[in-house]
Amino acid sequence: MENRNNITEFILLGLSQKKEIEVLCFLLFLLCYIAILIGNLLVMISITCSHLINHSMYFFLSFLSLADLCYTSTVTPKLIIDLLAEKKVISYNGCMTQLFTMHFFGGIEVFILTGMAYDRYVAICKPLHYTLIMSRWKCDAMIAASCFGGFLHSFGQFLLAIVLPYCGPNEIDHFFCDVYPLLKLACTDTSRIGLLVVANSGLMGLVTFVVLLVSYAVILYTVRSYSAENRHKALSTCSSHITVVVLFFAPLLFIYIRPATTLPEDKVFALFYTVIVPMLNPLIYTLRNMEMKNAIRRLGSHVTGSKDIN
C-alpha cells in the first residue's frame, strides 16, 4: 500500500507536445464536443417527446444517445482543457474514477448495441411475435441488464488497475487514464494482469462483435425472400446499426484484443471511439430515418411555435 501511495497524481502526455497542434486540436475537439452534445440531446428529446418512445428500436436509441453522451463526457472535457494547459495533471483518485466511469458507460453502450441488434432480429425474422417478445418491461429489463453488465465489466477493470503498486514514474503516454498505459507504470510484473485485461475487454468485445455480425447475417439471409420494397425497408434500418457497430468495435478491438502493449496508433483509435463515433451516431441514425427526421421537425416546430405541417 505504501508503494501505491507514492503516486498521488499522474501526468498525461496528451496527443502532442507541439503547442500549435494542441491549439488546433483544441478548436477541433471543442467543436466535436458541442456537436456531440447537440446531436445526442436532440435525438433523446425528439424520441422522448414523441410517440417514438413507445417503439423499442427508438427506446434503445434514446438510451444509446444517453450512453454516448455520458461516455464521451468522461474523456472529452478533460482532453479539451488539457490541450491548453501547460501541465496535464490528473490525481490518482481522479484517474481511477475516469477509468471506472469510461468503462462503465462504454460497457453499457456495447450491451445496448447488442439489444438493438436483437430488436432488429426479432422485428425482421419473427415479425408476428415482435410485440409480444419486445414488450416494454422486457426492454426495461434489457436496459437494466446493460447497466449491470457495464458495471461488472468496469468494476473488473477498476480492480485490475487499483491493486497495482505505482511508485514512479508517473507519466501516462495517453490523453486519458486506461488500463494498458497504467500497466506500464506499475512496479511489478503485469503479465498475468494483462491477460485478465484482454479477457475482460478484448474477449468481451470480440464475442459481442461476432454475435452481432452473426445476427445481422441471419437477418440478411431472412430478407432474401422479401419483396424489393420490404427488403429495402428492412435493410435501411439495419444498415445504420451495422455502420455504428463496425465504427465502434473496430478500433476498440484493435486496442484491447492484443497482449498488454501500447502503440503510438492507440491514441488515434481511442479518439475514434471516444469522440468521433459519439458525434457520428446521431447523424447515422437520423439521415436515413424518416421517422426520426419527422420527430426532429415536430420538436423544432413546437419550440419555434410554428405550425406542424406533417
Measured between alpha carbons, how far is 131 from 237 in angstroms, rounded to an integer? 18
Number of domains in the chain: 1
Measured between alpha carbons, how far is 61 from 205 in angstroms, rounded to an integer? 20
Domain contains 309: no
Residue 310: pLDDT band (50, 70, 90) is very low
> Alpha helices, DSSP H only, in the chain?
2-5, 19-48, 56-73, 76-82, 92-125, 130-133, 136-162, 179-183, 191-197, 204-222, 228-256, 266-271, 277-287, 290-304
Domain contains 3: no
Domain contains 95: yes
Q: Find, among 223, 216, 237, 206, the residue nearest to 61 by Cα.
A: 237
Q: The cell 498505459 sits on which residue? A: 181
Domain contains 26: yes
Residues sharing a CB contact under 8 Å with residue 93, sequence separation 6 or more, in sequence order: none
pLDDT one-digit tens code per residue, 90-136: 999 999 999 999 999 999 999 999 999 999 899 888 888 898 999 99
Residue 89: enclosing H or E segment and its boundaries? Answer: strand 89-91
The domain of 114 spans 9-299
pLDDT one-digit tens code per residue, 134-150: 999 999 999 999 999 99
pLDDT one-digit tens code per residue, 194-246: 888 888 888 888 888 998 888 888 888 888 777 777 777 777 777 888 888 88
CATH number, residue 194: 1.20.1070.10
Q: Within 10 Å of residue 294's Cβ, how many Cβ atoms?
A: 15
Domain contains 2: no
Q: Find, among 65, 46, 66, 47, the residue nearest to 55 by Cα.
A: 47
Domain contains 247: yes
Pairing of strands 9-12, 89-91: antiparallel
Residue 306: pLDDT band (50, 70, 90) is low
Domain contains 306: no
Q: Is the pLDDT of residue 28 over 90?
A: yes
Burial class (CB in 10 A: 0-12, 13-18, 19+), 12: buried
Measured between alpha carbons, how far is 234 from 219 in angstroms, rounded to an integer? 9
Question: What average pLDDT does range 34-50 have in this prediction?
Answer: 93
Q: Find, among 87, 103, 82, 64, the residue nearest to 15 by Cα.
A: 82
The model carries a pTM of 0.90
pLDDT one-digit tens code per residue, 278-292: 999 998 888 777 888
Q: How many residues appear in the chain?
A: 310
Domain contains 304: no
Q: What are phi and psi of 246, to 5 degrees?
A: -65, -45
Measured between alpha carbons, how far is 270 from 60 in angstroms, rounded to an integer? 24
Q: Is the pLDDT of residue 297 over 70?
A: yes
Question: What average pLDDT does range 257-284 have in this prediction?
Answer: 86
> What is the structure's pLDDT at 2?
43
> What is the structure's pLDDT at 1?
40
Residue 307: pLDDT band (50, 70, 90) is low
- Quick check: helix, strand or coil at residue 14? coil
